[in-house]
Structure 1
Amino acid sequence: MADLTTIILTKNEELNIKKCIESVKSISKRIIVMDSFSSDLTVSIAKSLGAEVYQNEFLNYGKQFQFALDNTDITTQWIFRFDADERLTEESSIEINKLCSENKNTDINGLIFKLEVNFLGRKLKHGGTYPFKKLCIFKKDHAFMETRSMDEQIVLSDGKSIEMKSISEHNDYRDLTYWISKHNWYATRAAKDYLDFENEKINYTNLDFSAKARRLLKYKIYYKMPQGIRGLTYFLYRYIIKKGFLDGKEGYYYAFLQAYWYRVLVDAKIFEAKKNNTKISDVGSLK
């Protein structure tokens, strides 16, 4: 077993939490569920599986994760930020154990985790989503979490990161209605994040390559385009250039909703805030 603590942020995740916890049990000395006062069976299910449950009011992911780091007395060398709708495979479990052990005394302080995205029951292999990469396994005291409203990243304060070879699963067992509600919530946070940083110099220095590329594309290219053509450009990029059409109807709906619904909704919320000269406040947890 790796010298690793897994942290899972939750709010009403009773459909996901069991399989999530079961998938990380074999590699985790501790499993910490940082819950935002769920009203369903999330807490009881987590406790029944041996997880430690803490609760705190949610403001944003960065602050919630940092609260977990600061208030749960973690002593393991490695920490794993894991989402309730993610699952380790047997291959990724073995690889995490191996990499944590091999790099106990090296300057490798972060592991870049790979995921496949599941949408409408289909594993997407195209459209720029496969595999999705993020730095979410890191050595304690060698990284910090950004405090942004959206697109928060774990950033190494020293050392290097390496990329895992195996690919884990991302599968939320809820329907499209929930997806739309969640992305409306995301859109508010994304609009706030853009307005917060619109006139500031964005620091890309210590981000891992994938996170840096996404942020550069967002702030240096996407947001420099006129609002009226952003959605079209985004759709063409995902569906045509990145061959999202090869994922069938699911690929079409994913690209269309990401571009013409979610990204346009973000732009509309930015437009509304500027037009009315209002600030977008922290939106709290998803209901």
Structure 2
Amino acid sequence: MSAPYSFIVLTYNEELHLQRFMESVAELQAPVFVVDSGSTDATLAIARQFGVEVIYHTFVNHPLQWDFALKNCPIQTPWVICLDADQVVTPELKKHLLNFRDEDFTGINGIYFNRKNFFKGRWIKHGGYYPFYLLKMFRYSTGYSDTSEKMDHRFVVPGKTIVWKDGHILEENLKENHISFWIDKHNRYSDLLAQQEVERMQQGFQSAERPAFWGSPNERKAWFKKHWYKLPRYARPVLYFTQRMIFQLGIFDGRTGIIFHFLQAFWFRLMVDIKIDELLKQQDNGSTK
């Protein structure tokens, strides 16, 4: 019996990750579609080795790339699972998927997976990083990519969703073992987030999800994001880092974890705030010319 779901994975120079990902889903015997944005390493050779279909599309940002993927991959199954190349399916999640039957999920449109995130080989267990629920599986005709975002890719599913708390995906970007890669990537991400926040400052906060503290994981994230925008710049990275380190016990993630929380919660968020001020100054100078 063929699986009632297909996988889509985005790639760009993912030779370190793609084989690991493909091996983790091979037992499921589900169709896999790779949407590549111009890999120059062995990524495409690995894809051919596993016999998956590859579609090329120029990369602009993650939400737009996922939007293209969902609209252009020839999905023939009622469900689709959208994962990143640096993620793998764990045995407990694989058990859920091996036993998955569409008829058992009538009235359900989306399923959240629980993610375990790793940095330099260490599981980041604290600081708000676990449990961490991501909407990764949904009905193909129902879910879509939230293109109002510029950096964070998020899928939106109208209707009822459920959470598989023991359905883990492991996420470890091995390229980030070199800190220069992490810094370069997040420098680019800070550009996108700064641009997005300036737009929302001028146009008002908009979200594809209803902000709700007691809602679904995505609605809860939208609630926090809405209130994050109201916090004073430069103070909020300090507040966020303190929250993660003290109140969410990030201090117990050890030296590697503390470095991760500092980079994520303070350095990266401070960069965003600095770039917001730069963008606002550029706009003010342009309007006075």
In the alignment, the residues of structure 2 paired with residue 178 and residue 103 of structure 1 have an alpha-carbon distance, to the nearest angstrom, of 44
Are residue 151 (structure 1) and residue 152 (structure 2) matched? yes
Are residue 275 (structure 1) and residue 278 (structure 2) matched? no
2:265 to 259, 263, 281: 259
State the partner residue of 1:51: 52
State the partner residue of 2:26: 25
Please give the secondary structure, in 2, of the residue aligned with 1:165: strand
Are residue 240 (structure 1) and residue 246 (structure 2) matched? yes
In the alignment, the residues of structure 2 paired with residue 125 and residue 224 of structure 1 have an alpha-carbon distance, to the nearest angstrom, of 28
TM alignment of 1:74-223, pairs within 5 A:
74-98=75-99, 100-101=100-101, 103-104=103-104, 106-147=106-147, 148-157=149-158, 159-166=159-166, 167-174=168-175, 175=177, 176-198=179-201, 199-203=203-207, 204-205=209-210, 209-220=216-227, 222-223=228-229
Aligned-pair CA distance for 1:206:
8.7
In the alignment, the residues of structure 1 paired with residue 196 and residue 21 of structure 2 have an alpha-carbon distance, to the nearest angstrom, of 29
In the alignment, the residues of structure 2 paired with residue 232 and residue 105 of structure 1 have an alpha-carbon distance, to the nearest angstrom, of 43
Aligned-pair CA distance for 1:195:
2.2
Please give the secondary structure, in 1, of the residue aligned with 2:135: strand
Larger RCO, structures 1/2 (Cα 8 Å, 6+ apart): 1
TM-score (norm 2): 0.90
In the alignment, the residues of structure 2 paired with residue 104 and residue 23 of structure 1 have an alpha-carbon distance, to the nearest angstrom, of 24
Aligned-pair CA distance for 1:104:
4.9
State the partner residue of 2:7: 6
Aligned-pair CA distance for 1:227:
1.1
Aligned-pair CA distance for 1:28:
4.7
In the alignment, the residues of structure 2 paired with residue 133 and residue 183 of structure 1 have an alpha-carbon distance, to the nearest angstrom, of 22
In structure 2, runs of 5+ residues without a counterpart are 285-289
Please give the secondary structure, in 1, of the residue aligned with 2:106: coil
Aligned-pair CA distance for 1:260:
2.3
In the alignment, the residues of structure 2 paired with residue 276 and residue 21 of structure 1 have an alpha-carbon distance, to the nearest angstrom, of 46
Whether the 8 Å contact between 1:4 and 1:78 is mirrored in structure 2 is yes
In structure 1, runs of 5+ residues without a counterpart are 279-287
Please give the secondary structure, in 2, of the residue aligned with 1:227: coil
Q: Can you list the C-alpha shifts for 1:99-130, whole angstroms capped at 9, x where unaligned?
A: x3155550111110111110121111111001
Divergent runs of 4+, >3 A: 102-105
- Code of the residue aligned with 2:5 in structure 1: it is L
Q: Can you list the C-alpha shifts for 1:158-184, whole angstroms capped at 9, x where unaligned?
A: x31110132221111122221111111
- Code of the residue aligned with 2:117 in structure 1: it is V
Please give the secondary structure, in 1, of the residue aligned with 2:174: coil
Please give the secondary structure, in 2, of the residue aligned with 1:116: strand
TM-score (norm 1): 0.90
- Code of the residue aligned with 2:210 in structure 1: it is T
- Code of the residue aligned with 1:149 in structure 2: it is K
Please give the secondary structure, in 2, of the residue aligned with 1:24: helix
Aligned-pair CA distance for 1:275:
0.8
In the alignment, the residues of structure 2 paired with residue 90 and residue 84 of structure 1 have an alpha-carbon distance, to the nearest angstrom, of 17
How many correspondences in the alignment? 275
2:237 to 231, 240, 250: 231
- Code of the residue aligned with 1:179 in structure 2: it is W
In the alignment, the residues of structure 1 paired with residue 85 and residue 9 of structure 2 have an alpha-carbon distance, to the nearest angstrom, of 6
Q: 1:77 to 1:210 in 2, by over 3 A?
A: same
Q: 1:106 to 1:47 in 2, by over 3 A?
A: same
Percentage of matched positions with identical amino acids: 34
In the alignment, the residues of structure 1 paired with residue 45 and residue 229 of structure 2 have an alpha-carbon distance, to the nearest angstrom, of 43
In the alignment, the residues of structure 1 paired with residue 153 and residue 199 of structure 2 have an alpha-carbon distance, to the nearest angstrom, of 13
Q: CA RMSD of the aligned region, Å?
A: 1.8
